[in-house]
Structure 1
């Protein structure tokens, strides 16, 4: 999405099932790459519902009623509180079983097993504190609404501890940028060769979400309304700019629902979203361009 400078260096690798690129002014030393790999492995081992050995899987399968609380639990689940309130319950961290029912399960069968099923009430089921993350009943935590953004922030912070100068962390379209501003094309959700606009990212983050990503079957994709368990239909793609990638990622999810723009205004963040009929909306003060 961004273009490295002629004198810069880009490290490309795969993590959490997608491609990543880290752009820096000079090649990352091996100690920095090892530190990034360790951060990614820890996060994946704790939060991935696609790994049998993760903490999330242990809770989902009932092998444990509680697990040691990951370092990221409070930051992420507290933000889910805000997302839940802003969207009237449409965003819920226990949506994992609803996704699995539609075929987006731990084995990626992509074979639906019945009609959509609402996610359970997470406020009554999921608890966390300084020591423990616990479920009152077996359920599958899925932090996809903001988890990749959180990991982008963690990777960006890790890189900044090892290098000076400009840094861009690109987690397959979810960006954290420090140093020189970059211009990013907003990819058309129905035609990857086109853009609907351009955004400028300055010492902050840009995250995107679209129904053509992680899509399978007839009208099935990964953005669900937790109240119904069904894929959203009104919007095709969203983009959000915020001070952190976790906030931008959270807003990119919230913008599929009523309440998303209001939450963005509260966070003083900017956004663009495209409806499935092709109409485009954007926030007042958006620092970029939307094409006709």
Structure 2
């Protein structure tokens, strides 16, 4: 296998293919990532979402807006509003802002009426008032899907891995990192022609118990679950399920979407769906 490694959207990417990717293919992948970042990054002053955050308004439908925001509608409903694409302001209030200040202020809830503030269709996206969109609940998964699509025509198996969110053509064996000890795994997953996405509160963590997985209803980081993994036919839905699993509605949404999953509590106990393709090494509830 040939491995191409690079950094983009704040994470390390590894693309494994049978043969090295030709320069034209690499350029195509780079263009896909650059376009997505220019639209959805809240860490760039010139991105579409940063411009919308200033005063709201209407923009021509950005890349993948309909697919992602339609999924957000289901994700929000399944978690009783705990997941919300206008949570960007809540993250910034706790210090996870565009400048990575990591200086936490008071927790701020995201607007609960977000589907009235943020509307979309095939022609455009409209933000009725200024708010900061954050697509972190499923955006990296969606980008993994777009990069995998850019590899159409590449012969044989491949793995697109963006910091642990991956799409696999063929088969890959993947260790599930222990959230309390990064030198260990809680199990081994077998990923066949599907996506695996993970989320953990030990990643992007700072301050006194602060991390990036917030309950949008309160603006406070979640405390019950520490790590999640989800398997689905595409990475966007796997990523969304991995986020939903931090909340009570996650397993039901996974079942509705045909996803399998594993999650680990802050007490170190694991739960899994019946058909999750995983061999676990730790105790199950």
TM-score, normalised relative to structure 1: 0.95
Pick from 52, 55, 78 the counterpart of residue 48 of structure 2. 55
Pick from 190, 199, 212 the counterpart of residue 189 of structure 2. 199
Partner Cα separation in structure 2 for residue 130 and residue 272 of structure 1: 35
C-alpha distance after superposition, 1:75-105 (max 9, x if no partner): 0000001101110000000000000000000
1:160 Cα deviation from its structure 2 partner: 2.3
CA contact (8 A) 1:160 1:167 kept: no
1:110-259 to 2 correspondences below 5 Å:
110-113=102-105, 115-120=106-111, 121-161=113-153, 163-179=154-170, 181-259=171-249
Structure 2 stretches of 5 or more lacking a match?
Answer: none
Partner Cα separation in structure 2 for residue 261 and residue 283 of structure 1: 8
CA contact (8 A) 2:215 2:222 kept: yes
Partner Cα separation in structure 2 for residue 286 and residue 28 of structure 1: 32
- Deviating beyond 6 angstroms after TM superposition, the runs of 4 or more aligned structure 1 residues are none
1:43 Cα deviation from its structure 2 partner: 0.2
CA contact (8 A) 2:39 2:63 kept: no
Partner Cα separation in structure 2 for residue 35 and residue 234 of structure 1: 41
Pick from 246, 255, 271 the counterpart of residue 265 of structure 1. 255
Task: Please name the residue that 1:4 is paired with.
Answer: none
Q: Secondary structure at the match of 1:10?
A: strand
> What is the RMSD of the two structures over their aligned residues, measured on CA atoms?
0.8
Structure 1 stretches of 5 or more lacking a match?
Answer: 1-7
1:132 Cα deviation from its structure 2 partner: 1.6
TM-score, normalised relative to structure 2: 0.97
1:267 Cα deviation from its structure 2 partner: 1.4
Task: Please name the residue that 1:5 is paired with.
Answer: none
